[in-house]
Amino acid sequence: MSIAANVKAILAGLPPGVELVAAAKTRTPAEILEAVEAGVKVIGQNYVQEAAEAFAVVGRRARWHLIGHLQKNKAKRAVEIFDIIETIDSIGLGREIDKRAAAAGRTVEVLIEINSGREPQKTGVMPDEAEALVRTLAALPRLRVLGLMTMGPFEGDPEDSRPYFRETRRVRDALAKAAVPGVEMRHLSMGMSHSWRVAVEEGATIVRIGTAIFGPRPSRP
């Protein structure tokens, strides 16, 4: 199927209120434009440099979410491109973005990345540390916390992803109950090509889909 046909099929299958982010790592600007023209409203990028190249072509015809880990030395460029940074997992990173956002005269919307599998080698804040992080970030004037994001397994049986999504939702519900001033728990970004249906069942409001839109990724040299 073509990119356009894939986009239309996925959009038709998403319940109302669930937003599609086209996960576009390794895709060319032409492929991304095809997806946008077929109805994609949000592009997800993992790397700031790759996003900058696509952004130069697509610009504000779409909104941009950073869905990969951000290095502090890329925060300035990230603030110029991205509408939402989905992967905040430390106070240091939050402070850096707040500083860059102030310099750019804007406010940046962010999601907190949750390490829902509690795997020490992975990115994301541990579930038990999420509330403390959110309370600290809430005090930063140029940051707006709008919810949570999690990764979960990249492949395999979609049911194996369910505990990761359920855990992230549990953290979301606890944070909503904590009602930290200035913080909204509007978004739950979880689910990929193989797992988005399970993620939606577990309350996702954003799904990040790459392969099912663009086809298998070319292997990196």
As a whole number of angstroms, the distance between CA 152 and CA 168 comes to: 10
Binders of ligand PLP in range 67-126 (CB under 6 A): 67-68
| Structural contact between residues 168 and 206, judged by C-beta atoms closer than 8 angstroms | no
**Which uninterrupted H or E stretch holds 214?**
helix 211-214
Options 14, 41, 42, 46; binder of ligand PLP; rule CB under 6 A: 46
Tokens 């541990």 -> residue = 126
| Structural contact between residues 14 and 42, judged by C-beta atoms closer than 8 angstroms | no
43 belongs to the binding site for ligand PLP (CB under 6 A): no
Tell the smallest beta-carbon distance from residue 102 to ligand PLP (Å): 27
Q: At 57, list the tokens.
A: 């072509």
| Structural contact between residues 17 and 188, judged by C-beta atoms closer than 8 angstroms | no
Tell the smallest beta-carbon distance from residue 26 to ligand PLP (Å): 9
Tell the smallest beta-carbon distance from residue 204 to ligand PLP (Å): 12
Options 54, 78, 183, 209; binder of ligand PLP; rule CB under 6 A: 209
Binders of ligand PLP in range 189-208 (CB under 6 A): 192-193, 208
Q: Give the footprint of ligand PLP on this chain (CB under 6 A).
A: 23, 25, 46, 67-68, 151, 192-193, 208-212
